[in-house]
Amino acid sequence: MKKSIQDYTEYLFHCTFTDESFDPEDHEDHLKASWELFDAYDWANIYPIWKQYLHSHCDTPAKVINFVNLYVYYEAGDKSIPDPIDFISYLYYRVDMDQYWDEAGELFESLAINILTHAKLVNMIADPYYSPLKDERILNGIARWRARCGKTQ
């Protein structure tokens, strides 16, 4: 029987990217499972379930950072999403960069720029000094999440 997107998602994200046992050299089981998923289902159907996983399972900054690491590792950062500003803002809302910059600053910025470039919302050739944390659209998005879900996460 064909595995569901939910089954794949549980397998792909219920793990710790930084564990030594996660996808060791020549045993990249999770990466291969993500390819399998992308072959079996359309990204347009996968993304809402991954986003739902983020919102429902990742309730600490460490879990959100882990989600982002996995999202990048599975090469989802190169895929188009319908709500780029909202998605990126949520990540920054959940992980305070004043506290987690060393751990996640460049990771989040890399993902944000990739997503926004694919969405044609940022052009790094025209604006090589772009920074998501100075982008009013992102800052307003973070403020919206705070208003909706509370100040501190």
Partner 1 sequence: MGSGVSGKYGGGGGSQPYAPTYHVASDMHARDIANGVYHDGHYDKNPTAKNINDMINRNYIGNKNTNIDMPYVIDTNGNIIVGRRNGNGRNGAPTPHPTLIGGRDPQVQMAGIVHIQGGKIASYDNQSGHYKPNKKSMDAADKAFSKLPKSVFKKKRGR
Q: Note the residues at the interface with partner 1 (CB under 8 A).
A: 17-18, 20, 22-25, 28, 31, 35, 38, 69, 72-73, 75, 97, 101, 105-107, 109-110, 113-114, 124-129, 131
Ramachandran quadrant class, 111 (left: phi over 0; alpha: psi -120 to 50; beta: rest): alpha
**Minimum separation from the CB atom of position 136 to partner 1 (A):** 18
**Shortest Cβ distance from residue 117 to partner 1 (Å)?**
8
Q: Burial code of 57-68, b = ≥16 C-beta within 10 A, e = fewer?
A: ebeebebbbbbb
Token pair belonging to 14: 């219920």
Closer Cβ to partner 1, 1 or 126, answer by number: 126
- Nearer to partner 1 by Cβ, of 37 and 85: the residue is 37
Q: Which is nearer to partner 1, 32 or 149 (CB)?
A: 32
Q: How far is the CB of 80 from partner 1 (least distance, A)?
A: 15
Q: Report the alpha-carbon distance of residue 23 to residue 51 in Å, rounded.
A: 23
Closest approach of Cβ 76 to partner 1, in Å?
11
Comparing CB distances to partner 1, the nearer of 120 and 151 is 120
CB contact at 8 A, 112 and 138? yes
- Decide: helix, strand or coil at residue 152: coil
Residue among 109 and 135 whose Cβ is closer to partner 1: 109
Please state whether 43 falls in left (phi above 0), alpha (psi between -120 and 50) or beta: alpha
Q: Residue 65 CB, nearest distance to partner 1 (Å)?
A: 10
Q: What are phi and psi of 75, to 5 degrees?
A: 65, 30
